[in-house]
């Protein structure tokens, strides 16, 4: 697994992973304002930056490049991210540990992999 300290690269990787693993929308009558792939990438960015929901919304509002990396036209409200986290983590309980592992600095991961 490649490691990165670039928020943009982490978001792109999370977005691509979510595209392979999740349906675009949770339900056929979903509002279709944001895809689950985009919301998942935002949640990964939240963990990567070690911030709260309001903090990641602020970062996305200030960095249009991050939004463009995942084809995000509008910045989601922080409650949208909270609800997405509840829905996505309930659906896949191992996702929480995967997100945390993805957002760890490379030194911790490489030392853990060396022990195996």
In whole angstroms, give the CA distance from residue 68 to residue 56. 15
Q: What is the pLDDT of residues 61-115, one digit of tens each?
A: 999 999 999 999 999 999 999 999 998 877 555 555 656 665 566 554 455 555 5
Q: What is the pLDDT of residues 5-54, one digit of tens each?
A: 899 999 999 999 999 988 999 888 988 999 999 999 999 999 999 999 99
Q: What is the pLDDT of residues 36-50, one digit of tens each?
A: 999 999 999 999 999
Q: How far is CA 18 from the centre of its chain?
A: 9
| pLDDT at site 87 | 87
| pLDDT at site 89 | 76
In whole angstroms, give the CA distance from residue 96 to residue 49. 15
The structural domains of the chain, with segments of one domain joined by +, span 7-108
> CB-based contacts of 10: which residues, under 8 Å, 6+ apart?
4, 44, 45, 48, 102, 103
């Amino acid at each position: 697994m490649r490691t990165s300290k670039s928020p943009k690269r982490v978001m792109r990787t999370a977005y691509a992973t979510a595209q392979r693993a999740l349906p675009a929308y949770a339900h056929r009558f979903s509002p279709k304002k944001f895809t689950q792939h985009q919301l998942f990438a935002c949640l990964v960015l939240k963990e990567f930056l070690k911030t709260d929901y309001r903090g990641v919304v602020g970062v996305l509002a200030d960095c249009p490049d991050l939004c463009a990396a995942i084809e995000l036209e509008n910045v989601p409200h922080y409650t949208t991210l909270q609800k997405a986290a509840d829905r996505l983590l309930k659906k896949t309980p191992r996702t929480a540990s995967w997100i945390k592992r993805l957002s760890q600095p490379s030194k911790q991961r490489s030392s853990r992999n060396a022990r195996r």
